[in-house]
Structures are given as structure tokens and as C-alpha cells.
Amino acid sequence: MAQNFKVTVDNSFEYDFKDSEVKSLDALKLSESKFHAIHNNKSFNVELEKSDFYNKEYIIRVNSNKFTVKISNQLDLLIKKMGFTVGTSKKSNDIKSPMPGLILSINVEKGQKVTEGETLLILEAMKMENTISSPKEGVVKSIHVKKGETVEKGELMIELE
């Protein structure tokens, strides 16, 4: 079954893609975060500078221009169309690792008040820095990881109350 994606660039431009169009891109992977692409006989150097896994938001540099890109899949679009928000993560007090990686920094302390969207920690995975943000407003109850430590997918990193 074909998958459709809606891509929003800098909160200004929206594009619809099918997975077959994405797979047919003339792109060469140079490293985990760098690519070379050709479109309409023009060459582009593309670099993924930052990824926010939970919010599906990425900062990319194309040649010398920086863009903020949000990607929505069919489920995201259906949830939005129905008037819902992704509320299950908002109710969760447990911040778990979305993928295996290395803790680069922890930006909060036990007892600290945090706001929704505030950066809790930076997780390096596949040579990319992933910002792990607070899904809701709250207070840091406990921190289960340390800087320089590796984590597995699903491992509890921070608890909120």
C-alpha cells in the first residue's frame, strides 16, 4: 500500500509526496547525515543538522540555505482531520529512548520545572543529535541516565510528575 506524506517547510510551504516519489529521488548518501542530490539537472548538497524525533521536525541545510522541515504521515493527517491531537504522549510521565544511542547532554535537573517542548536531553543516534523534548509541562521527578551513557530503545531516561 502506498504511503503518503505531507512535508511542511519553514511553516510556509506544503508539499505532498508518495513513498514511490521519495524512493525515486536521485540522491547519494555520503554519511549518516549528508547526502548529494540531483534535481532538474542541478546539484544539491544536503545535510541533516538536527532532528526532533518525537515532533517529526528536522533542520536541514541545502547548499547554504537552512530549512525547518516537518513530516506528517497518513496517521498524523487522519488524527489532525478528526480534530484530535496526539494526546497519549502528553499524558505520559515517562520519557523513554526512541532508539538506541549515546546521551550527549542532560539539560535538566531533578526537581526542575519544565515546559512543554523544552529540551530535556540530547541523544546521539546514527551520528545525528536528537533533541528529546518534554511532552508536557511538569517537574522532573527522576533522571535515570548519565551523560556519556548508552541507552537502548525503550529505556526509561527521565520521569516527570
- Residues 95-154 pLDDT 10s: 999 889 999 999 999 999 999 888 999 999 877 888 898 888 899 999 999 999 999 999
The rounded distance, in Å, linking the Cα atoms of 112 and 37 is 44
Q: Last residue of a domain, which of 77, 102, 134?
A: 77
- 64 in the same domain as 28: yes
Beta bridge partners of 15: 7
**H or E, element range at 21:** helix 19-23
Instruction: Sheet containing 113-114: give its strands across.
Output: 94-96, 156-160, 138-143, 113-114
Q: Is the pLDDT of residue 66 over 50?
A: yes
pLDDT band for 88, please (50, 70, 90 cuts).
Answer: very low
Of the candidates 101, 96, 156, which has an alpha carbon nearest to the alpha carbon of residue 128?
101
Q: Which domain holds residue 53?
A: 4-77
Q: Does the residue 144 lie in any domain?
A: yes
* Biggest distance spanned by C-alpha atoms of the chain: 55
Number of domains in the chain: 2
Q: Does the residue 84 lie in any domain?
A: no
Mean pLDDT of the chain: 87
Q: Could you give the percent of the chain with pLDDT greater than 90?
A: 50
Q: Does the residue 86 lie in any domain?
A: no
First-to-last C-alpha distance (Å) of the chain = 41
Q: Could you give the percent of the chain with pLDDT greater than 70?
A: 94
CATH of residue 99's domain is: 2.40.50.100
Residues 6+ away with beta carbon under 8 Å from 21 = none
For cell 499524558, what's the residue? Answer: 91
- 101 in the same domain as 71: no
Q: Last residue of a domain, which of 50, 77, 104?
A: 77
Q: Which three cell numbers stand for residue 127?
A: 551520528
Q: Does the residue 83 lie in any domain?
A: no
